[in-house]
Amino acid sequence: MKRIIKCGADFIYRYHHGFKYYDITTGKVIDIYKLVKGKENLKVRVKIGGADGPIVTLLAEKVNEQIADKRRCQLKNLPRQYPANKYYDSCPGPSSLPLLKMNK
């Protein structure tokens, strides 16, 4: 990723539950739910891959209720088999249901 940025190229990366984003000034982990709560869309610059990681633009846009409902059903049927690691917290849970309303 750093090599891509160094070359001046752009890339698109799809959001994955539990991936940690960091504030570009403080280096602290950002709560994505708090950022998108009550908004139709979001555009914010964050760091990824750690507090010293590259700065990227995080985009999110609200989807219609049918798509959000489909995502909620898929999440509820997902087996809880994904272990936590240094990049991801764990498998999505009930706290991530509001985020399913957003295209990230």
41 token code pair: 């869309």
pTM (predicted TM-score): 0.61
Tell me the C-alpha distance between 101 and 104, whole Å: 9
Tens-place pLDDT, residues 45-72: 999 888 888 888 888 888 888 988 887 7
Q: Are strands 41-48 and 102-103 parallel, antiparallel or unpaired?
A: unpaired
Arithmetic mean of pLDDT over the chain: 76
Give me the residue spans of the domains in the chain: 10-103
Nearest to 89 by CA among 29, 35, 4, 18: 18
Tens-place pLDDT, residues 11-48: 677 777 678 899 999 999 998 888 888 888 889 899 98
Nearest to 101 by CA among 19, 41, 21, 12: 41
| The CA-based dihedral angle spanning residues 17, 20, 21, 27, taken in that order and rounded to the nearest 10 degrees | 160
76 token code pair: 């509820």
Secondary structure element (H or E) that encloses residue 74, with its range: helix 65-76
